[in-house]
Amino acid sequence: MGFTLAAPVLEGTLVRLEPLGHQHADDLAAVAEADRSSFAYTWVPTAAEVGDYIDTQLGQAVTGYLAPYAQIDRATGRAVGATSYFNPRLWPGQEGRLLAVEVGFTWLGASAQGTGINPEAKLLLFTHAFEAWQAARVDLKTDARNERSRAAIAATGARFEGVLRNWSRSWAPGEEGRLRNSALFSITAEEWPACKELLHVRVNRSLESPERRRSKA
pLDDT tens sequence across 16-53: 999 999 999 999 999 999 888 888 888 899 999 999 99
Asked if 84 contacts 6 with a C-beta cutoff of 8 angstroms, the reply is no
| 3 within domain boundaries | no
Domain of 102, in residue numbers: 10-216
| 108 within domain boundaries | yes
| 1 within domain boundaries | no
Among 166, 160, 139, residue whose Cα is nearest residue 84: 139
| DSSP class of 162 | E
pLDDT beyond 90 at 191: yes
> What's at 189, amino acid-wise?
A
Among 154, 129, 120, residue whose Cα is nearest residue 140: 154
Q: What is the CATH number of the domain that holds 73?
A: 3.40.630.30
pLDDT digits (tens, 9 = 90+) for 80-97: 999 999 999 999 987 789
Name beta bridge partners: 103.
85
Q: What is the pLDDT of residue 51?
A: 97
Q: What is the number of structural domains in the chain?
A: 1
**Helical pair 117-127 and 192-207, crossing angle rounded to 10 deg:** 150
| 100 within domain boundaries | yes
| DSSP class of 9 | -
C-alpha count within 13 angstroms, C-beta hemisphere, residue 68: 21
